[in-house]
Amino acid sequence: MTIQAEHIGVFERAAAARPEFENAIGAEHVFDGEAVLAEFSDPYDNRERHRSPASYALQPGSVAEIQRILAIANHHRVPLWTGSQGRNNGYGGGAARVPGSVIVNLRRMNRVLEVDETFGYAVVEPGVSFAELNAHLVANDYALWTDVPDLSWGSVMGNTLEHGVGYTPYGEHADQVCGMEVVLADGDIVRTGMAGQANSKLAHTHQRGFGPRLDEMFMQSNFGIVTKMGLWLMPRPEAWRAVWIHAESDQDCYQLIDALRPLLMDKTIANRAIIMSLMAMVTAMSRKKDWQAGDEPVTEQIRAVIRERFGLGNWNARIGLYGSPELMDIQQRRIERAIAHIPGTRLVARQYPGDAAAADVFPPDQAMAGIPNMDLIAMMDWYGFEHPGHAAYGPIMPLAGADGRILHELVDRHCMELGRDYGLAFAMTPRSMQAFVLILFDAGDPDDIDRTFDHTAQMIRESAALGYGEYRGHLAFMDLIADQFDFNNHAARRLNERIKDALDPHGILSPGRQGIWPTAFRHEAGLLRAADATATA
């Protein structure tokens, strides 16, 4: 949206506070101009008109410096937008929601504070990336694995707080959290769970303390700044096996979802298994120009050529098995029996020792062993756009083939109207699955951005009408997604707002994150919702 008169005061207050911020953390850690636009805006935003330009960015190096920043921001009523690495690409990157906000980026706080091999946990600061945590474990020969998302450059803490996932049995990152340190808006420091007892020996080994479990309150919220986090890590297994199931037709995919559900529920399959469409994989393995000229979606004839070239199916399930070879043999036989009735499937398996080096693991298998890589970023080059972008859409639905069909048909209809190839994947839990949808667009073309975002917004509305809810959202869709959680006249949002106003009365911490607006900026919510409604009308 354009900068309204109501926003000018934010820029002015931020300018007035800047000398104090510089004195608090050092002028060398305050950044503005092109550095802010490059590092702390949405990298796929409209280059002619950024939604929410920031005033400047701060990079504190300690909890004490964060407390000083909060005191200054409260005094001047300056909104802060906090982030760990600021690489939440596809969801808005490091950009804020209120124009003129001051970015608080925590990359300087990048220490692995503790690793306990006996109890299998690490304690990290916000700036530690998945690649850095993995390197620390490998360098010190800990018999522990990280669990990584598809791209390893992001923050372990940031991804976890946003309900991010990986692909080992520890793939539900939020479930592995045990003990946080949080700085509240008034500068007070809270430790959650057993860590609330100052001399606790259980801070990172037992998830619940006395009273309500507070960790979840600081995930996908703007109630505080998490500065330390305990995270359980997977013990390195004796061996592991990558099991791929290649399915030929859409119907095979839907049957496969139903066939795997019992094996996920009884833990035969313990990892975050995923079923990926052909285009979800091939965009990272080649370029569109390798197969056809022009930007129109690839045809079935071209898909057939791609499948033969890479040995893939139209749908491809990736499953991890872990432990002794004898145990994995039993598990694999159960999988084979479960899919025997699906005619268009074939199974391929590769086995590795638990301590296999990254160089010895087939790249598409690596995520199942917590091995970080950046291979998937190659998908951005599929069309050859000078400024590629992608929009993230991720509804959750029941783990059922019928629901997979409905969601697939919804996405296919919208992407055919857009005239775009798209990748679709179903990441499965024992009872639900998240759809990861990759829609690429030309971020150098404002019309293409608008069309893609309009269709994405409409998909969010349509999937909500079907009873599916988003697990995570782009900045531009946070209010829209929050609107879909409408039970009892949006009681959940009203409760979040009451908590927000109690903990952050001046509304300085990330106003608008996850659609949670403090009283001080609730007028901004109206402006943004009006702009979104106009854009998607």
Supply the residues annotated as catalytic.
91, 471-472
CA atoms in the 13 A half-sphere facing the CB of 525: 21
Residue owning tokens 């706080």: 109
Amino acid identity, residue 108? Answer: R
Cα–Cα distances (Å) from 362 to 68, 241, 356, 359, 368, in that order, read 48, 11, 11, 8, 11
* Tokens, residue 526: 């109206």
Q: In Å, how far from its chain's centre is CA 76?
A: 32
Torsion sign (Cα): 130, 121, 178, 262: positive
241 backbone dihedrals φ, ψ, rounded to 5°: -135, 130
Tokens for 469, please give them.
């809810």
Write the Ramachandran bin of 199: left for phi over 0, alpha for psi from -120 to 50, otherwise beta. alpha
Instruction: Taking each helix axis as running N to C, give the angle between helix 63-76 and helix 5-25, from 0 to 180 degrees, rounded to the nearest 10.
Output: 140
Cβ atoms < 10 Å from Cβ of 519 = 14
Is residue 509 within 8 Å of residue 185, measured between CB atoms? yes
Which residue, chain included where needed, has tokens 């959290």? 177
Beta strands in 196-353 (DSSP E): 225-232, 234-235, 239-247, 274-277, 315-323, 345-353
3-state DSSP helix/strand/coil percent for the chain, to nearest 5? 40, 20, 40
CA nearest to 88, candidates 124, 44, 142: 44
Q: How far apart are CA 178 and CA 176, in angstroms?
A: 6
Tell which residue, 101, 56, 108, 65, has the closest CA to residue 85.
Answer: 108
Cα torsion through 260, 263, 264, 266, rounded to 10: 160
